[in-house]
Structure 1
Amino acid sequence: MTYCITNGCPNPKNDNAAQFCQSCGSKLWIRDRYRVLGALGRGGFGATFLARDQLLPGCPPCVIKQLRPTTDVPNLLDMARDLFQREAKILGKIGNHPQLPRLLDYFEMDKEFYLVQEYVSGSTLQKEVKRFGPFTEVSVKQFLNEILPVIQYIHSHQIIHRDIKPANLIRREQDQQLVMIDFGAVKDKVNQPTVDPTDQTTLTAYAIGTPGYAPPEQMAMRPVYASDLYAIGVTCIYLLTGVSPKDLPYNAQTGELRWQERVSVSSHFSQVLVKMLDISVHNRYQMAEEIMRDLDIEPHLDSLAQSLSFATAGQATIGQQNTQSAERTSGKTSGRISPSARMAAAIRARKERRVNSGANYKGVERRRNRKHTAQSLKDAYAKGQRDFSDHILTQLDLHKQTFAEARFAKANLREANLTGADLSQTHLGQANLTRASLKNAKLAGAHLVYANLEGADLRGANLNRANLGSAKLDGANLCGADLTGATLSEAQLDTALTNWATIHVNGRRSLL
């Protein structure tokens, strides 16, 4: 089908080969290049369409945004045009990031503006929650680990997104990565600015945002970087509850959401959420790095507590020596160190050791943990670690363990025992799983692109919607496996062992 985008066309649907609309006579291909397939959404200032670029090999899909105001008020027209041009500028500036849509084209035609960008195939987080239910605490932490670096990247370019919410976060079908979309143009409701132009934050001139997700300073036309972090915090609450913020109770005196009544999370994570959702912008996290740092330290809280207990018992740690030295210098001789002082001393000591060694802390941790025992891997996952990329996990006994939504990209799992393990939504791209036991394993939605599964035992495994593109399946045993909706070729399947009980991609068993 070819779709007519002329405003007011009574019947916009046309045949694929049509060059002109059969109803209104308008030319169908935009710029003699883009063939529109259908409408994705409409707003007060324009519309969004799914199209194909007919001039590129394979005619790849793309998204076209058309500025089409429904008002004749000059100020509002100028504002809509400004927002549209701004989005093009922003996408052109930051679109090289793999988790942001690329700007492909931008032009004006017949006094209308068009913006063409990369089409992201996948499901929004809003749809995920509606389909599968609320996320667990572990899944929400994984969400933050994925999206906060994107926020950090955007803010580093002096850009404030202003409309972060589950509907603007898509899990890309190709690689299961989160992609952030919609950078502020063509909104349904845009208020005319009344503030002094000299009192505007970076790249922000209008009060834009979704009620419930936008904090007070943003709706007052004074958004800052911390405004995006508030929206991320509200998104976390939605993922944990499945309830829209407009349906959550709030404190009538402060305006703060009373989300604690609906959410059960660990004490440390609760503190992180409280700080993200503080109504006062001064008390809120100011930068994404601060949240990542607090989340990064959580897996080490137990070891820190042990260090502090040793310090209390009288062991002369580096932290104690620094604290005692400071007390002697300042004339303090009380002898008793408060828990907060001990924590501060321990953290200072850790920092000093990192500086003195000249090594980056995360790099050291990553190198140290590249090789795991079965128990250390289980413990790391239980404490919130999700990225085990490039780790050496050969021959580990991990049967019936849960590693859902973890990342094992390029990990070496050769001959590992994963019988009955829960690996749902797990990233195993390019992982070495040769001769691994995955019998009855849960691999629904798993990403196994370019994984090596030669000789692996996948009998009875649930591979619903798993992506096995270019995976090596030579000699893999898929007898009784469920491949409904999975991505793989017949050529790949021919190299594996199947039987009458194997459920194929179409949801049917073979008739032998």
Structure 2
Amino acid sequence: MIISYCVNPECPSPKNHPKLKNCNACGSNLILNRRYRVIKRLGKGGFGATFVGVDLINKDDPLCVVKQLRPIVDDPQAFKMALSLFKREAKTLAKINHPQIPKLLNHFVDDEKFYVIQELINGDNLQKEVKEKGVYGELGVKRFLAEITPILQYLHSQKVIHRDIKPANILRRKKDGKLILIDFGAVKDQVNTQLAQTYGQTALTQFAVGTMGYAPPEQMAMRPIYASDIYALGATCLYLLTGKSPKKFERDSDTGDIIWESEVNISPSFKKVLSKMLMPNVKERYKTADELLKALDVAPFEQSLNQSFVTVIQSTDKSSDDISTTDLSTTQTGDMTMSPTQQLRQAIQKRKKKTNTITIKWDDESFRAAYNGGKKDFSEQELNNINLTGVKLSKFIFRYAQLEGAIFIESNLAQSNFYSSNVQGANFSNANLAQAYFAKSELRDADFRGANLQGADFTNANLADTNFCGANLKNSKITQNQLKDAKVNWATVFPDGGRRWWKLF
């Protein structure tokens, strides 16, 4: 039953009949700004509360989020200052226009309380997602960063610091699986900081400095900068990898660093990126989202360089150690304007030209022997027609591998990497491929009937005649045109979670 909810924090019985204009219990007005009726409380904190509301004027899309901010100040001058700051910051947020940030629809003051009206997003937050579905792997976190960092980059370009990035403030929108950044601390923190600097500690300023564990030291001291959001993003990655709040990790008593490395299973190159995101000292942290994106771009090539030393190779003219000096220095002298990413990429390409990787033609027996010995990286290997029915291969790497006709029926391949591999005609029926990475892969005639492909990435993959009948593609990265080339049926779950297959044609 729909109710009319009283937003007075002192109300003893806030639930009312949906047609009332004033609260039965306390007499407060139930229609805010002569336009918004609150119907449900979503949450509350020391500084205010969040509700679902109905816009009585907008008949086409009436549901919205109503955020109430309560500046508890006794000094009239302090309230006047808080009001001025609130209006200024709200106007700044109103200018933000990004498809993955809820629109700010309105802002006003009612009964000495500040209100922000925002677009309502239908989706679950990442904290709930981890609790229900389990932690992310390295690949999943990298995809998360690849999607969320550009949003942060846009925000910072608008001179806005989010101030409260954490898993609970990142939603996965149900209709398309995209990440949505919500619940800005910008309004309340700006008001809070200015009042603290002018009037000292008040009932207002003891709140809203971010979330413990996610906010870095400078933000807790009420001096947030753009790099503060980078730290919070790194702390969010820790939660996604471990399911553990950052404040529950031990810290180095001398440096203040979170001690986390032993609790995650990630590559050295990604560990290096995450470590820099989590530096307590601002000078040692990434300063901007641009810097972070460049680091994420370089990391795979650094990892590839590192792996080249442990891959069995036959050198044609010199030792593998030379790649770190000769190849890179030649690249740099060839074009002094090259970015670090381009230099690393060219060095790898040169190295490949100078070496012959020994490719083993694997059969079922040799693969299982290597698998039992702990091998998980089968990049660039020939695995055509191999039969791995029912094998647990979670987080395995098959980059550039030849897997034509391979059989993976009912296998667990969650978070495995098939980047640019040839998987033509392979059988993945009823396999678990949640968050698997198939970007640029050849998947013509592959069989995914009944497979779990939630969150899988098919960017630029060839899906001609690929069979997705009965497959679960919820939140996967796949285009409408790719789906038109593939085979689907009434049992196929599409990226938006629906089964409306006929709308493809």
Q: What TM-score do the two structures reach when normalised by structure 1?
A: 0.68
Q: CA deviation at 1:146?
A: 0.9
Aligned counterpart, 2:487: 456
Structure 2 residue identity aligned to 1:40: L
Aligned counterpart, 1:272: 273
Moved more, 393-402 or 106-115: 393-402
* Per-residue deviation, residues 350-396 of structure 1 (Å, max 9, x unmatched): 966979xx9xx9xxx9xxxxxxxx999951699x99999xx999965
Aligned counterpart, 2:67: 65
Q: CA deviation at 1:312?
A: 8.4
Q: Distance in 1 between matches of 2:467 and 2:321?
A: 52
Q: Distance in 1 between matches of 2:31 and 2:196?
A: 40
Answer yes or no: is the 8 Å Cα contact 2:267–2:303 preserved in 1.
Answer: no
1:345 aligns with 2:329: yes
Aligned counterpart, 1:53: 55
Q: Distance in 2 between matches of 1:62 and 1:278?
A: 37
Q: Distance in 1 between matches of 2:228 and 2:327?
A: 30
Aligned counterpart, 2:5: 3
Q: CA deviation at 1:406?
A: 6.1
Aligned counterpart, 1:324: none
Q: Distance in 2 between matches of 1:136 and 1:178?
A: 17
* Per-residue deviation, residues 131-152 of structure 1 (Å, max 9, x unmatched): 2222111111111111110111
Aligned counterpart, 1:118: 119
Q: Distance in 2 between matches of 1:343 and 1:89?
A: 52
Q: Judging changes above 3 Å, is the alpha-carbon distance between structure 1 residues 338 and 207 closer, same or farther for their aligned structure 2 residues?
A: farther
Task: Point out where structure 2 has 5 or more consecutive residues left out of the alignment.
Answer: 200-206, 350-381, 385-396, 402-412
Q: CA deviation at 1:109?
A: 3.6
Answer yes or no: is the 8 Å Cα contact 1:44–1:187 preserved in 2.
Answer: no
1:90 to 89, 92, 99: 92
Answer yes or no: is the 8 Å Cα contact 2:398–2:421 preserved in 1.
Answer: no
* Per-residue deviation, residues 41-80 of structure 1 (Å, max 9, x unmatched): 2333332221112222344311112233344245764565
Report SS of the residue matched to 1:51. strand
Structure 2 residue identity aligned to 1:287: T
Moved more, 420-429 or 447-456: 447-456
Q: CA deviation at 1:407?
A: 8.2
Aligned counterpart, 1:297: 298
Answer yes or no: is the 8 Å Cα contact 2:477–2:495 preserved in 1.
Answer: no
Structure 2 residue identity aligned to 1:467: G
Q: CA deviation at 1:98?
A: 0.7
1:464-475 to 2 correspondence within 5 Å? 467-468=497-498, 471-472=501-502
Answer yes or no: is the 8 Å Cα contact 2:85–2:191 preserved in 1.
Answer: no
Q: CA deviation at 1:409?
A: 11
Q: Distance in 2 between matches of 1:6 and 1:267?
A: 52
Structure 1 residue identity aligned to 2:222: M
Q: Distance in 1 between matches of 2:94 and 2:275?
A: 35
1:29 aligns with 2:59: no
1:14 to 13, 16, 26: 16
Number of aligned residues:
431
Q: Distance in 1 between matches of 2:308 and 2:122?
A: 48
Q: Distance in 2 between matches of 1:102 and 1:386?
A: 36
Q: Distance in 2 between matches of 1:120 and 1:293?
A: 30
Q: Distance in 2 between matches of 1:342 and 1:111?
A: 68
Aligned counterpart, 2:231: 230
Aligned counterpart, 2:142: 141
Relative contact order higher in (CA < 8 Å, ≥ 6 apart):
2
Q: Judging changes above 3 Å, is the alpha-carbon distance between structure 1 residues 218 and 11 closer, same or farther for their aligned structure 2 residues?
A: closer
Aligned counterpart, 1:417: 447
Q: CA deviation at 1:117?
A: 1.0
Report SS of the residue matched to 1:104. strand
Q: CA deviation at 1:100?
A: 0.8
* Per-residue deviation, residues 435-469 of structure 1 (Å, max 9, x unmatched): 542356444555789675698355986x4996227
* Per-residue deviation, residues 146-178 of structure 1 (Å, max 9, x unmatched): 111011111112222222111111111221111
Aligned counterpart, 1:404: 434
Q: CA deviation at 1:252?
A: 0.6
Report SS of the residue matched to 2:209. coil
Q: Distance in 2 between matches of 1:460 and 1:466?
A: 14
Report SS of the residue matched to 2:282. coil
Q: Judging changes above 3 Å, is the alpha-carbon distance between structure 1 residues 465 and 304 closer, same or farther for their aligned structure 2 residues?
A: closer
Answer yes or no: is the 8 Å Cα contact 2:126–2:167 preserved in 1.
Answer: yes
Moved more, 296-305 or 213-222: 296-305
Answer yes or no: is the 8 Å Cα contact 1:76–1:192 preserved in 2.
Answer: no
Report SS of the residue matched to 1:98. coil
Aligned counterpart, 1:38: 40
Answer yes or no: is the 8 Å Cα contact 1:299–1:385 preserved in 2.
Answer: no
1:81 to 69, 73, 83: 83
Q: Distance in 1 between matches of 2:9 and 2:191?
A: 20
Q: Distance in 2 between matches of 1:151 and 1:235?
A: 14
Structure 2 residue identity aligned to 1:399: F
Q: Distance in 2 between matches of 1:42 and 1:182?
A: 12
Identity within the alignment, %: 40
Q: CA deviation at 1:190?
A: 4.7
Structure 1 residue identity aligned to 2:210: G
Structure 1 residue identity aligned to 2:7: I
Q: Distance in 2 between matches of 1:339 and 1:466?
A: 46
Q: Distance in 2 between matches of 1:172 and 1:266?
A: 29
* Per-residue deviation, residues 250-273 of structure 1 (Å, max 9, x unmatched): 101111100112112111111111
Answer yes or no: is the 8 Å Cα contact 2:149–2:293 preserved in 1.
Answer: yes
Q: Distance in 1 between matches of 2:478 and 2:126?
A: 22
Q: Judging changes above 3 Å, is the alpha-carbon distance between structure 1 residues 304 and 45 closer, same or farther for their aligned structure 2 residues?
A: closer
Answer yes or no: is the 8 Å Cα contact 2:189–2:208 preserved in 1.
Answer: no
Aligned counterpart, 1:329: none
Cα RMSD over matched residues? 4.8
Aligned counterpart, 1:379: 399
Q: Judging changes above 3 Å, is the alpha-carbon distance between structure 1 residues 50 and 277 closer, same or farther for their aligned structure 2 residues?
A: same
Q: Distance in 2 between matches of 1:433 and 1:117?
A: 39
Q: Judging changes above 3 Å, is the alpha-carbon distance between structure 1 residues 305 and 345 closer, same or farther for their aligned structure 2 residues?
A: farther
Q: What TM-score do the two structures reach when normalised by structure 2?
A: 0.69
Q: Distance in 2 between matches of 1:425 and 1:4?
A: 40
